[in-house]
Structure 1
């Protein structure tokens, strides 16, 4: 095992899950798992782990410990993935409730302000597009940057307003899925 020995590739061949983790954002956690399995402490540095692997002095017990640690690491990763999915689902549900509450509020109060905001943004957007298309950009770099920033702000407001009235693509997909499901059930019932 000379200077060209790539210890990460070696770990990947010995413990593929840990090898994959070494190449991504979980590298720190993978190094801790390897350090704990090989050196008996998770506080060892990446250099210590690399040195132990490149020395060619791995014992059978250390190899078994690495494989066992990999299995535990893979199990922890699966558990974390489930937790991440649950967290993502909770965030999606909270966003959906927020949008539903805003629309329900507008219906209950018969508030016309969202439409006014939409049409003001639409007028500003049209004016800015016309200015960029037909007008001449100022030569002053600072003024040009301000105009560009203002255009981006108005465009972002337009997207938010359209999303409020029309719904997001995810909401549209969910609605489409629900309609397809109802149609399929109706089709099965008529057979």
Structure 2
């Protein structure tokens, strides 16, 4: 399982920061507050998050509120940063040929569903030696699918922001 996806489910503000340009700030915050080691890196955090007890995940949820307040004090909206980051990627793609993005997206998604088919059809048998690593890799690949879809179709946060802007611009 992807540790960042787990964080995003439990602590959405920190999760949004981890997926955008404020990732370094979120990692440092988690290393200090959740792990208790300001020098810890992503690998250390991943190990702790993936092996967290329900009580530790509840603590992570509490830390999300603290992180949100800290970001608000710094006048940083991590959700807007994440949306802007994706918007920049789409803007760059609009100015250049989309062919590389199209090819990579198609290859990735085709490969993903081919792998899923192979696993569930019995074409590929996972031995105990590779099962743990294969499961981890499948989780990471599965976590990338929403990123591809968000690139092409936008995110729900972006849709909410756009709806709010349109409502604010309505006369009357």
**Structure 1 length normalisation: TM-score?**
0.46
Match of 1:169? 156
Q: Matches of residues 124-139 of structure 1 in structure 2 within 5 Å?
A: 124-135=111-122, 138=125
Residue correspondence of structure 1 range 15-54 to structure 2 within 5 A: none
Contact 2:71 2:78 in 1 (8 A): no
Structure 2 alignment gaps of length 5 or more: 1-32, 34-66
Summarize the Cα distance change of 1:81–1:159 in structure 2 as closer, same or farther, 3 Å threshold.
closer
**Is 2:158 aligned against 1:151?**
no
Q: Cα distance 1:83–1:158, how it changes in 2: closer, same or farther (>3 A)?
A: closer
Relative contact order, higher structure (CA 8 A, sep 6+): 2
Compared with structure 1, are the counterparts of its residues 81 and 117 closer, same or farther at alpha carbon in structure 2 (3 Å cutoff)? closer
Considering only CA atoms, is the larger Rg found in Structure 1 or Structure 2? Answer: 1
Residue 86 of structure 2 contacts residue 151 of structure 2 at CA under 8 Å; is this kept in 1?
yes
How many residues align? The count is: 107
Which of 97, 105, 109 lines up with 1:118 in the alignment?
105
Q: CA deviation at 1:81?
A: 8.0
Matched residues in 2 for 1:110 and 1:153: separation? 28
Q: Any gaps of 5 or more consecutive residues in structure 1?
A: 1-24, 26-79
Q: CA RMSD in A?
A: 2.9
